[in-house]
Structure 1
């Protein structure tokens, strides 16, 4: 399974929150919410920055992508099993 798209939507209720949708090549979508003190614009900016690094990655391996982002590099290519 690979990530094919990541989208955001800013909603306002008791402040601002950012909804995040991650789509996969198997037709599965996952949703999350962020409500940071920095505001929705900060969340959207970070997602726009990391989106190219996450497209094509396995959504179940998010910790390796997070470590790569924190280290300032893109994630290593996924290993396909034979």
Structure 2
């Protein structure tokens, strides 16, 4: 990932989906744009990959910050009863 204005301009993002106790269910390391998946915003792709590991995602509560939040994502999660 390119970060303008920083001494070290490349970096990683690590996202986790964790239980209320802090135990991780899923982990995703992001090192840059995936050229194959340009159709959806990054936040939506991350959330969908994270909930794909859940056996029954409708039985869980999701909390995420405004980086991930979008109308399209909330509509898609609502359609899945999450």
TM-score, shorter chain, exceeding 0.5: no
- More helix per residue: 1 or 2? 1
Which one scores higher on RCO, CA 8 angstroms, separation ≥ 6? 1
TM-score (norm 2): 0.32
Higher strand share: 1
